[in-house]
Amino acid sequence: MNDTRSDGTDPLVVALGGNTLLGQHGPWTADEQRSAVERTARHLTDTLDPGTDLVLTHGNGPQVGNLLVQQEAAAETPQLPLDVLVAETQAQIGYMLQQALDNERPTETEVMTLVTQVVVDGDDPAFARPTKPVGPFYTETEAAEKPFETRAVSDGERPYRRVVPSPDPVEVVEADEIAELVARGNTVVCAGGGGVPVVRDGGLRGVEAVVDKDRTSQLLATALGADTLVLLTDVAHAYVNYGEADQRPLGRVTAADLRKHLDAEEFGEGSMQPKVEACLRFVAAGGERAIITTPDQLGDALAGEAGTRVVA
Ligand code: ADP
Ligand code: MG
């Protein structure tokens, strides 16, 4: 296993889902975003021991979507590629998290945000089959005029959205630096939006893609030698028969049992499925446990009393 720890600490890696950073309904003013981030920061500081070596990752779907809308609305300024926009959202969300966490718990070592790149394989089959919808919705006529690939992904007047590839993350470029910051005592916000996707092409080069944040969070947690990976979202558990009258929350679950539920397609594609896969990869790579739950259940989940807790 690729263990980059520099001093034997075992950081806790916590991935923050979209709803932990935004209220439930858009269009999400800066104030709405700030109050959602503050609520999540309070859950983290109330729950975690001040000495916890904490690495925070996060999603960016709505934020990068808004930036894409802004691009289209401002014809007089040059259009920026997706990798640059992902980097912008890392700063935007990281800034709010830094401020909220430092205000909740003033300490000598600051919370730091790191613009994070993640290497993907230029030959990943995902590049031939873009699946991830991003940005605004278009009519069929509007979609036909776009310089990028679009696909009808819903019903109604404007069913079309841009679709981009979602390749597997291979390596977090800044993993060693993240480990060093953690060893110094900094809480690190990184790998936002799954990281800025880059290929190794002589040097590093940004690509038009979106990497799944749950997958990147697993890759990073494994590289850091973390014991526990936590994926915080808006449901307290992964469920079987989700949405049915007889839905059943998964508590402590072995990887073998969870894999059976995964194979039975119990988990939503693009929502719960990548989380479950990330948990399975994490314990398969030697991690002790992976947790799926909500921010308010984090403490109970770490105590083994709430949430879905995946063990080898
Ligand atoms: P995040 O922004 O935290 O990644 P997602 O929307 O991607 O959030 O994933 C969480 C969502 O997964 C839940 O709100 C729920 O609607 C959906 N979901 C799909 N299948 C399941 C399942 N089997 N158990 C629990 N949630 C599920
Ligand atoms: Mg998600």
Summarize pLDDT for 111-152 with one digit per residue, the tens.
999 999 999 999 999 999 998 888 889 999 999 999 899 999
Q: How far is the CA of 242 from the centre of ligand 1 (A)?
A: 10
Residue 164 has pLDDT above 90, yes or no: yes
122-136, 230-244, 276-290: lowest mean pLDDT where? 122-136
18-32, 35-49, 189-203, 278-292: lowest mean pLDDT where? 18-32
Which of 214, 265, 272 for a ligand 1 pocket mutation test, highest count of atoms within 8 Å of Cβ?
272
Alpha-carbon gap, residue 216 to 224, rounded angstroms: 12
Q: How confident is the model at residue 246 (pLDDT cuts 50, 70, 90)?
A: very high
Residue 230 has pLDDT above 70, yes or no: yes
Q: How confident is the model at residue 2 (pLDDT cuts 50, 70, 90)?
A: very low
pLDDT digits (tens, 9 = 90+) for 289-306: 999 999 999 999 999 999
> Is 103 noted as a catalytic residue in this protein?
no
Which ligand 1 atom is at minimum distance from the Cα of 274?
7
Alpha-carbon gap, residue 22 to 32, rounded angstroms: 7
Active-site option among 59, 132, 186, 192: 132
> Is 18 noted as a catalytic residue in this protein?
yes
Residue 192 has pLDDT above 90, yes or no: yes
The per-residue pLDDT of the chain, averaged, comes to 93
Residue 270 has pLDDT above 90, yes or no: no
Q: How far is the CA of 156 from the centre of ligand 2 (A)?
A: 24
Q: Round to the nearest angstrom and report the end-to-end CA distance of the chain.
A: 16
Q: How confident is the model at residue 25 (pLDDT cuts 50, 70, 90)?
A: confident
Active-site option among 195, 225, 275, 287: 275
Q: How far is the CA of 184 from the centre of ligand 2 (A)?
A: 31
Superfamily of domain 12-124+168-311 in the CATH hierarchy: Acetylglutamate kinase-like (3.40.1160.10)
Q: How confident is the model at residue 106 (pLDDT cuts 50, 70, 90)?
A: confident
Q: Give the pLDDT score at 174.
A: 98
Calculate mean pLDDT across residues 242-262: 97
Structural tokens at position 99: 């401020």
Q: How far is the CA of 126 from the centre of ligand 1 (A)?
A: 22
> What separation in angstroms does the CA of 286 have from each of 86, 105, 238, 281, 289?
30, 32, 21, 9, 9
Higher pLDDT, residue 28 or 77: 77
Q: Give the pLDDT score at 9.
A: 58
Task: Dihedral sign for Cα 282, 2, 90, 184, please.
Answer: positive
Pocket of ligand 1 (CB under 6 A): 17-19, 59, 233-235, 238-239, 242, 266-268, 271-272
Statement: the pTM of the whole predicted model exceeds 0.85: yes
Q: How confident is the model at residue 237 (pLDDT cuts 50, 70, 90)?
A: very high
> Is 135 noted as a catalytic residue in this protein?
no
> Is 146 noted as a catalytic residue in this protein?
no
Q: Give the pLDDT score at 4.
A: 40
Q: Give the pLDDT score at 107.
A: 78
Which ligand 1 atom is at minimum distance from the Cα of 17?
3
Residue 7 has pLDDT above 60, yes or no: no
Q: In the chain, where are the structural domains located?
A: 12-124+168-311, 131-164
